[in-house]
Amino acid sequence: MRMRCSVCRELFEREKVEFSPAVCPKCEQDEAVAIECVRNYVRNRPGVSLDVVSKALGVSRKKIKEYIEADHLQIF
């Protein structure tokens, strides 16, 4: 099945849709790295605000919130 990545807009192949929006393997990897960065940053700075994390790591507030809501992170 051919899909368009919701992050980089490249077309990629996947056997079936497991989640949406579709994200290609490369961006999926980037996302995993970003989640890990946010997690480490926050772990070392308890009580840090969303704004500070966003600016320090270059990850948008929207993305950080998404990670939290997706339950990848249990912080704040």
Residues that bind Zn ion (CB under 5 A): 5, 7-8, 24, 27
If the CB atoms of residues 27 and 59 are measured against Zn ion, the closer one turns out to be 27
Phi first, then psi: give them for residue 46, nearest 5 degrees.
-55, 135
Backbone angles phi, psi at 27, to 5 degrees: -70, -30
Question: In the complex, what is the shortest distance from the CB of residue 76 to Zn ion, in angstroms, rounded to a whole number?
Answer: 27
Rounded to a whole number, what is the distance in angstroms from the first to the last CA of the chain?
A: 38
Q: By C-beta, is 27 or 34 nearer to Zn ion?
A: 27
Residue 22 Cβ vs Zn ion, minimum distance, rounded to whole Å: 9
Q: How far is the CB of 55 from Zn ion (least distance, A)?
A: 24
Q: Is-contact 18 34, C-beta < 8 A? A: no
